[in-house]
Chains A and B, each alone.
Chain A
């Protein structure tokens, strides 16, 4: 259980870094903010790659599972930033995605 909490924490932290870093690069190029935004964004994206290496599994499994976390993060992002309330099928689909990656990452072998 401790391991589940720790690995989930790492996954969500990684998602925060990826989306945050990407957002800063976006601000730099699309909203013409200073280069500092791009630079800090690049460093945060790099740290996303570093945080992912903390997971106690092989590369493909870690990244595939992270993809599922990313799906849920996109839906939450749409809710917070675009103010688009997830509909029933987005919630059901997200739950199915989470079940799938949980089977992959957490099913005891």
Chain B
């Protein structure tokens, strides 16, 4: 069925899909470390939990600093997209883990912000290189 040209094309596509997947996983992991670490520091200083939580939070924030070194994209627009993922993750964290229900302005604001990120990320441009290596 496959001639060699479409086989090669499929390889390239698969390779790209792999890169995108690993990039998404890394961003998700980074968001988890950044928000989780920040939350532990927050519990220490704002909710009077033990300083040990603060120390663990500091360490998790340090891990957050390590995660992007595995990232194969250097593209600042991808980091802008990470900001969008971060906004949504934070709202859910506040709601599900911190137990603070977002009000309607929180939800409207989140939707507007995500639209902004989609404009930055998905508006088609020609001839741009996203991946290094």
* Chain A contact residues, CB within 8 Å of chain B: 18, 21-22, 24-26, 29-30, 41-42, 45-46, 48-50, 52-53, 58-61, 63-64, 66-68, 70-71, 74-75, 77-78, 82, 84, 87, 89-90, 92-105, 107, 109
Give 6 A-B pairs besides A45-B37, A59-B39, A93-B118 with Cβ atoms closer than 8 angstroms.
A45-B64, A58-B100, A64-B113, A67-B113, A77-B79, A89-B125
Query: CB within 8 A of B87: which of A77, A78, A101?
Result: A101
Query: B100: nearest residue on chain A (CB-CB)?
Result: A58
Indicate whether B112 reaches chain A with its CB closer than 8 angstroms: yes
| Interface footprint category on B | 35 or more
B94 touches A64 (CB 8 A): yes
Query: A82: nearest residue on chain B (CB-CB)?
Result: B76
Which residues of B80-115 are within 8 A (CB) of A? 80, 82-84, 86-88, 90-95, 98, 100, 102-103, 105-106, 108-115
